Structure 1
């Protein structure tokens, strides 16, 4: 009464979707269509590798390759393999802008080391200690003023060249300007005094 009619149940056939077999060069099938269970079995990968030693070695090789790519990118400036913080045309322009200039901030650590040596050498002389402290505060003020002026010029150039300023580019340029040139990563790609426009 509530069941299906006999002819309807017999007419409905359970058809599973299957992928077509690969075709030959002349457009005909090269062989029988593989079963769905066989295709699924071919695609299955174990969650935990069966050979742990081989998996660990493969992971180690991938890590070494990525480190080598990053090292080469830092030397050549190839943006494909740089870290995310260094990517983008505005960051590249900011790097070149800073690297083409002489910055007082990049020698900050040497000045601080010199002040420390002088203050330790003349620890008993209060006059020298006072001069060292004043010179240190003057140096910090000069570095801050230099960073503000440099990033303001950089901002004007970026807006005129790219139409807008990406977030964090000014701080990126400031931090690069306070690093010694030989220690900067990515390595400088322009010489001092070179025109970058």
Structure 2
């Protein structure tokens, strides 16, 4: 009685296959997955070059074009710095300090303009009355900046303690950061103000 579990060696051999035509080979190649890896000993298929940019050498820029490109990159970097600021401007406490300063009118914005007036008015060629007025103006500006700085620092200290009780930011550094911003003209501040004058912080 013949065995049902034993096959002849002829049955185990792969059936003969006919060679594929070039069209059939392309169709079979397209049906394969991207993750397909050919068996050892076979040639690795090359990636299709359709739609890829030719790896030609780029045309070197002329002197004027390179200069214009550098100017454009500097302008873009300056605009980005104006919007986002630098490393010293990062952190929620610094943003809060900027908003406190930008939401109010500060005496410091008039400090440098007043200093120029005082410098001109205190010249020895000026009449004594003008020199006296210049000195009084200088004293008033200095006193105003001191009072304004104290008020800004107290406001920042209160808000930081309320909103960031676990903050590790050094308060002295934060006060100085805010004071330096308060004596800078609003249009020249960087990062640019995000709140309007009078807004609630």
- What band does the TM-score fall into relative to the shorter chain? 0.5 to 0.7
Q: Identify unmatched segments of 5+ residues in structure 2.
A: 1-31, 42-59
Partners of 1:70 and 1:83 within 8 A in 2: no
1:97 maps to which residue? 100
8 A contact 1:94–1:169 mirrored in 2: yes
Rate the CA distance shift 1:127–1:63 in 2: closer, same or farther, 3 A.
Answer: closer
Structure 1 residue 66 displacement after superposition: 7.3
Give the match for residue 56 of structure 2.
none
- CA displacement, residues 9-40 of structure 1 (integer Å, 9 cap, x when unaligned): xxxxxxxxxxxxxxx8486534669xxxxxxx
User: Larger RCO: Structure 1 or Structure 2 (Cα < 8 Å, ≥ 6 residues apart)?
Assistant: 2
Larger Rg: 2
**Cα 1:85–1:64 shift into 2, 3 Å:** farther
- Alpha-carbon distance, 1:131 to partner: 3.4
Instruction: Indicate the SS of the match to 2:196.
Output: coil
- The equivalent of 1:184 in structure 2 is 189
- How many equivalent pairs are there? 148
In structure 2, relative to structure 1, the CA distance for the partners of 1:85 and 1:26 (3 Å cut) is closer
Unaligned runs of 5+ in 1: 1-23, 34-52
Contact 2:105–2:197 at 8 Å: present in 1 too?
Answer: yes
Q: Residues 101 and 192 of structure 1 are in contact (CA less than 8 Å); yes or no, is this contact kept in structure 2?
A: yes
> Residue 114 of structure 2 contacts residue 137 of structure 2 at CA under 8 Å; is this kept in 1?
no
Contact 1:105 1:179 survives alignment (8 Å): yes
Q: Distance in 2 between matches of 1:32 and 1:73?
A: 55
| TM-score of the superposed pair, with normalisation by structure 1 | 0.60
Deviation at 1:185, TM superposition (A): 1.1
Instruction: Classify 1:156/1:29 alpha carbon distance in 2 versus 1 (closer, same or farther; 3 Å).
Output: same
Give me the CA root mean square deviation.
Answer: 3.4
Tell me the equivalent position of 2:8. Answer: none
The structural deviation recorded for 1:112 is 1.4
Given that residues 117 and 134 in structure 2 are in contact (C-alpha distance below 8 angstroms), is that contact kept between their aligned partners in structure 1? no
Q: For each residue in 1:125-177, what CA deviation from the matched residue of structure 2 results, as whole angstroms up to 9, or x when unmatched? A: 33432332233123112202211221111111012111136132211111000
Q: Secondary structure at the match of 1:195?
A: coil
